[in-house]
Amino acid sequence: MYKLSVMQIKKISRAGRYSDGNCLYLYVDDQASKRWVLRLVVRGKRRDMGLGSFALVSLEEARDLARQYRKIARGGGDPFEGRKLSKGKYVTFEQAALNVHELNAPAWRNKKHADQWLSSLQLHVFPLIGSRLVSEITSADILRVLSPIWVEKADTAKKIRQRLRMVIKWARAQGFYKGDDPVELAEQALPKVKASGAHFKAVPYDELPSIIKRLRASKISLPTQLALEFLILTACRTSEVLGLQWSEIDRDDKLWVIPAIRMKSGKPHEVPLTDQMMAVLNKAASLNVDNGLVFPSDVNGRPLSNNTLRQALQKRLGIDATVHGMRSAFKDWAAETTNFANEVSEMALGHVISNKVEAAYRRGNLISKRRQMMEDWSSFLSEREAKIISIQTKGVKI
């Protein structure tokens, strides 16, 4: 019945495939390494299953494994799925999460998000269930993680929930996990949390001209002053301003092109530059460092932190608002004092058009209208009389 013996196998040195019978083969490569392969028909398809090297799996062990897997295949089962599930008995939840992080980190928009994804699990998850086998995670385990933060730290809990779900989905795809989704089951047992409805706190837009005057007259460090003023003028996100490189500025066309990798939307974004913005950039040129940053820290030359701008606004200037709230002030100004269409200010803010049909037909970026809008915004902030435009096209005001 069997064609091979241990003595024969030890003497084999020529590369090739050697049959032991019942579709079990010994493969020998050019370096005389030997491994077992079982040929199976699984649900009508022929497949080869590796059983390990001869150095680790003996002839008798290979035959036993072959019998087990052939029996499963003949019964209509999939021995590959069963083997994956058995592997899950050796993979902890923490190991699974680290694999998910490593797999997705290159695709996430920035390193900060990738770091936060992992640090949140290290803080809230791994101490509780990190050492448990991923194949044995239950809804009770998920409840242990989410219950302490579900109400008190609702935003954090929702992020953790989504990350737990990612790990379970990965484990399912690997064949390490079977059964109902434990995250979904745990969520059904948690209390309903009312949405806070909280938004980034903004100042009334008509207070911004005086805030810029106070900023310029303050003793706040020059890089922070310039970065905060540039942020207000451009209505861009904090991370976009703090990461600004000189290579992104086109002085001739008075245009700032933010690369896709630094945009929340994942698409390049053009910001028309006004004279007032260019004046800020000219002052920033004196902060010369060799890393290309426009607003480097005067302490270490690295990018300023979000906290630096927040402290400058809230502590040093005494403004009860968030830095991000400056974008809201710009949006309020555009809606309440200008005739620009909503889509113009939305594009100025770098927002993605939510209406898929509209987005499909909107090929341009309205740069001409946005340039005029930013000129009016700069004029307003410097307390010069802004010209409100009203363009008529086929009888429709836009």
Q: What does the angle CA 20 – CA 25 – CA 29 come to, to the nearest 5 degrees? A: 130
Q: What does the angle CA 123 – CA 126 – CA 132 come to, to the nearest 5 degrees? A: 165
Which pLDDT score is estimated for 199?
A: 52
Choices 2.40.50.140, 3.50.50.60, 3.40.1160.10, 1.10.150.130: CATH for 90-189: 1.10.150.130
For 119-162, give the DSSP string: HHHHHHTHHHHTTSBGGG--HHHHHHHHTTTTTTTHHHHHHHHH
Which pLDDT score is estimated for 371?
A: 94
The domain segmentation of the chain, as residue ranges, is: 6-77, 90-189, 205-397
Which pLDDT score is estimated for 195?
A: 53
Flag whether pLDDT at 131 surpasses 50: yes
Q: Identical fold at 6-77 and 90-189?
A: no
For domain 6-77, the CATH superfamily is Integrase, DNA-binding domain (3.30.160.390)
Query: What 3-state DSSP class applies to 299?
Result: coil
For domain 205-397, the CATH superfamily is Intergrase catalytic core (1.10.443.10)
Mean pLDDT on 276-296: 91
Flag whether pLDDT at 16 surpasses 50: yes
Residue 395's pLDDT band (cuts 50, 70, 90): very low
Q: At which residue do the structure tokens 């695709």 appear?
A: 107
Flag whether pLDDT at 289 surpasses 80: no
Tell me how far apart the alpha carbons of residues 170 and 158 are, in angstroms, rounded to a whole number: 19
pLDDT: is 88 or 219 the higher one?
Answer: 219
Q: At which residue do the structure tokens 């008075």 appear?
A: 254
How far out from the chain centre does Cα 35 lie? 41
Residue 384's pLDDT band (cuts 50, 70, 90): low
pTM over 0.75: no
